[in-house]
Structure 1
Amino acid sequence: MSGLVVDVAARTISGPVVPYGPVVTHQRRRWRFAPGSVRYGSPGDVALNVDHVHSRRVGRAQTLASVAGVLTAVFLVYRGDPGDRVLAEADTRVLAGLSPGTDLIRVGPDPDVPGVQLVRRAWLREVSLTAAPAFDVAGAR
């Protein structure tokens, strides 16, 4: 699955959240997620926010699944003005991709890639729509 998919009529946004394996730079550090390292409870407990601002919750996950080495998600966007605005901004790619909001549980130096922190376990709290997702695979195509 590549890129963000917006279905305005169904009020859903779907796409890749975390690719397992590639290195990304975030907050001046280099990170990589090990396969299967991101855990979550019930999909409905995973919020869809805008720019990682918890007061800007606009939906919730319907499904989360690992497909071909990538954690992917389908989100239901809430009805109302904020949800309508988010659907329009995602559809026109103002908001271009999904970004995971995780609690890092087990992280340490990557034995295979010097200078990289390997995430071995993380808890997915929320996913945000953002103009500049950290992972290229999570952006618009």
Structure 2
Amino acid sequence: MKKPALALLATAAIFNTPAVASTADITGVWATGSEGGRVEIYRCGKALCGKVVDASRLRANPDLRDVRNSDPKLRQRKLKGLVVLKGFTGGPREWKGGPVYDPETGDGAAKGHLRLLDSGKLELKGCVILFCRSKIWSRAS
């Protein structure tokens, strides 16, 4: 009688595991938290990359360009599909890579850090010399 009860408890524990455990795969679409932004994180070779898939400015003008970029040569790139995260490796809860780019400000960093928080949200950090900036993203519904 003890063995079936133990098996039942083990099964219940597996199915009642918090959602965070199943979200260690960060691929998918993430809400950036500003300007209605959505970034899709996807596999690019053995690493992870991320590209812009939606934003309120893009819904108003789907042909919008990267006009906020500090490099005039890059201002003609389309925002939709623009790769903003490249070469992130690691896991299951932290990844390092770079470069990272924020099309909302035109700022970028050569290296970045992604960390999956216990809440299931994703912290993105980019640093230039000693100055770092972080954003928290949520899975898009």
TM-score, normalised via structure 1 length: 0.30
Q: Which has the higher contact order (CA 8 A, sep 6+)?
A: 1
More helix by share: 2
Larger Rg: 2
